[in-house]
A and B are shown apart, each in its own frame.
Chain A
Amino acid sequence: QVQLVQSGAEVKKSGASMRVSCKASGYTFTSHYMHWVRQAPGQGLEWMGIINPYGGSTYYTQKFQGRITMTADTSTSTVYMDLSSLTSEDTAVYYCARVLRPRGPDYWGQGTLVTVSS
């Protein structure tokens, strides 16, 4: 069965960097793109960007450009999302989800809570 398992919760200091991993199983890793979404406490969903694990091409929302990097390791079927220069505004639950059009993002990770404190 398809599973996306994300890394555990983290607490970071302002100015630090974070890395969230998303390990895929149960399907061909390179057949689906992976998108990242975050949700601040009590807020809505915010789309961050997407990576094609086959080749590694990425698209990042302008809001995060310059401090976000998404990578894919095909040997371990894992996608990584790095975010630098953290502020309290980055406190959120971060989700990965696979997607292959025409379907929308169908399988999601369990979410990773990242708390940024000063």
Chain B
Amino acid sequence: DIQMTQSPSTLSASVGDRVTITCRASQSISSWLAWYQQKPGKAPKLLISKASSLESGVPSRFSGSESGTEFTLSISSLQPDDFATYYCQHYHTYPWTFGQGTKVEIK
């Protein structure tokens, strides 16, 4: 099984900060990576597909990139609505697995 190692587990930041979250896959996943935002009591919301393809309606301050088996979610200028938990998930081969999650907290 492909393991996804996500870091950090918690991130404290202020409004306006640039934020970066990383996921590392244990082997090649050929860009088949999704990023989600989840708020308490809500279903995950898909932000990015195929490592870097921004979903319709998602603010452009969100971006995804990849370098080999390392994937990054960036938020260019953190907004109050962005305080949430973020997950990566590969969807390359079964089983699809999630990263452990990153909680973005107010500093």
Contact = CB atoms under 8 A, between A and B. Distances in A.
Given A102-B50, A111-B43, A47 B34 contact: no
Interface in A9-65: 35, 37, 44-47, 49-50, 59, 61-62
B44 A95 contact: yes
Contacts, number: 64
Contact of A109 (B43, B50, B53, B91): B43
Nearest to A45: B98
A108 interface: yes
Contact of B43 (A50, A103, A108): A108
B95 A47 contact: yes
A45 B101 contact: yes
Interface of B: 32, 34, 36, 38, 43-46, 48-50, 53, 55, 87, 89, 91, 94-101
